[in-house]
Amino acid sequence: MAVAEVLFVVAGLFIGLAFQGGMLLFLIPFAVVAFVLACLNRPRLAGPSSTGSLPMIIKGRATGAIPEVAPDLRSEFRNSNGMANEPEAALKVSQVWARANADINRAMTDMLLALKSVVPHVNSALVFTQFDNPREWGVRNFVNDKEISVNPSARISETSGLLSQLFRSGVTRLLEGDLPGAKSLQYYVDSTPIKSVVAVPLVDHGSGIRVGAVVLDSTYPNAFNDMTARALSFVASAISMLDYKGFYSAQKHIALQQYSGLYNYLRKFFKTMSVKDIYKEIINYVKANMAYDRLTILALDKDEEMNGRVVFCDGVDSEQFLNKRFTLSDKGIFVLSIMRNRPIERSFAPGFKDYVPRLNDSEKRNLNLRQIFVMPIAAKHDAEMAEIAICLESSSPMPYNDHEKELLKAFASVAGFAYDRACKFEQGCEQAMRDGHTGLINKKTMFEKLRAEKSRADRNQYSIGVLMMDIDHFKSVNDTYGHPIGDVVIKGIADTISKEIRGDIDIVARFGGEEFVVALIDTDAEGMVETAERIRKSVQKLVFDVHQAEPLRVTVSIGAFLLSPGFNGDLQKAVNNADQALYRAKEGGRNQVVQFQATEPEPAAV
């Protein structure tokens, strides 16, 4: 037999002996302690039921059915708000509350059944607790002899009926033995001839405030006495303790569940070094844990102009914000949070007319979104400006409690550190991939990109044009004007080449010294030569001021090789072919484009 079952038997035995009267009344406190310990040892909160599903939550009698989750148990964590995004965490919270409430109601049912069994002539045993209105109590649980006598929707208030006396602080019990009828009780749906009532207030264990009542009634006159009222007060104290412990046990379980989820996301942060993955994890966390009607993620650009864009938007009118640009001079509330690196929360009353821009005045106005909460994410917690902002909007008033905000704040703090780490890593990778002077990719990176493009070209059956170019007489430029001027020439030619190709498609790299390589994606021989000529002519037009009477002009020679899908050699061979064509351009007088031509093998000597 389980520990909880043994304690229930002991509690029932003590209560039965106590109601015999006399010296046995001292057993009541021990019965209450045994009952509370039994309830706390029932292993139901930590996991699902044996069938793998939640208990059935329905309205009805407490004997044989479990009432719905009481609102007072969920006052700290609202789970159902009707917003566009209902997060997965809300379902988990609802499950915990449902399971906790089911356990508490089962324990209450056992208590009421015990009372009804040991106290003679009891018709109904009921527990009233607060629901939405603190000045009103409703039926939380009951057991009785009739199936439909008690109205589960019944309410008692400070000014209605006999039980309203328990709202007064000076009334510690209610004991009536000769009532005229059931009308004054108000919780019956028929005219049950109740003659006796004993009731005591239910006091909240934490605050000491009256939050309900425990009631016994009978159709017999004078069915209860002072001993019954005293015993009932002990039972009410046990019920209060049970409710208090059940609430905080569920609250602790929810907090552990939420912090465990937060920890899992933080682990993901430190497994990735990509800024895009950081954005992805931020979006996933918010969608899984926060309810909203619209979610917008803003991020500043890495350049020095301090502009930004919307990297993600989901929900109401999301299409108008997605990929939208903004500047720090815009007067939107989202932008303000980034500028000040402070959370911002705004609430608007129903029917308000003064719309507050989110990014700027040009956006579409939606007056139904009356709640705004913005959490900035900064690389350093004491930074003057943030880099990212999580912007939540809701049509529900006050949808986020302090606990949810603190969780999001903790998440944002670690996300900022991970974002800064990823940015520095990508910046280091970018520097390793590029030539420090021209900003073009280096030789190693060029071969990596060209290898990937060659695989794609083979699958889709298109050609790649490879251009190898060299600055004509560059050694004489360095010897005559010095290496600083030579660096200016190299940078100017690199910029000119980049402008003459498709920046988002083609590849340009500094191959070494004064040599450049260009890969023209999806082209033919004619297009390859045309682009090479365009580059050559643009370089020829360049003028470099060397602080002399005549400006400096330079030219380039270009060798071209068409890398077709049927090419069997490696990529180094393709670049070598372009280099051979470049050598011929140099021999032919420079400042020209020469396409590679395969030479036929010479006949063997006789």
Bridge-based pairing state of the strands 593-595 and 556-563? parallel
Q: In what order do the strands lie in the sheet with 515-523?
A: 507-512, 515-523, 463-471, 556-563, 593-595
Least Cα distance to 275 among 250, 300, 238, 242 occurs for: 300
CB 165, CB 176: distance < 8 Å: no
Single-letter residue type at 80: S
DSSP string, 361-383: TTSPP-TT--EEEEEEE-SSTT-
Single-letter residue type at 425: F
Name the DSSP class of 43: T
Name the DSSP class of 150: B
Q: How does 378-411 read in b/e, with b if 16+ C-beta sit within 10 Å?
A: bbeeeeeebbbbbbbbbbbeebbeeebeebbeeb
CA atoms within 13 A on the CB side of 462: 14
Q: Which two tokens stand for residue 4?
A: 């909880």
Name the DSSP class of 520: E
Residue 363 annotated to the active site: no
Q: How far is CA 283 from CA 310, 338, 599, in A?
A: 12, 17, 59
Bridge-based pairing state of the strands 136-144 and 155-157? antiparallel
Q: Which residue has the tokens 């004064």?
A: 514
CB 178, CB 157: distance < 8 Å: no
CB 62, CB 102: distance < 8 Å: no
CB 309, CB 325: distance < 8 Å: yes
Select which of 76, 393, 514, 602 is catalytic. 514
Least Cα distance to 495 among 554, 433, 438, 556 occurs for: 438
Pure H helices in 341-442: 402-433
CA atoms of 202 and 166, how far apart (whole Å): 9
Whole-angstrom Cα Rg for the chain: 40
CA atoms of 295 and 516, how far apart (whole Å): 46
CB 122, CB 217: distance < 8 Å: yes
> What 3-state class would DSSP assign to 557?
strand
Q: Which residues pair with 136 in a beta bridge?
A: 157
Residues 6+ apart with CB under 8 A from 326: 298, 307, 308, 309, 310, 332, 334, 335, 359, 360
Q: Which residues are catalytic?
A: 514
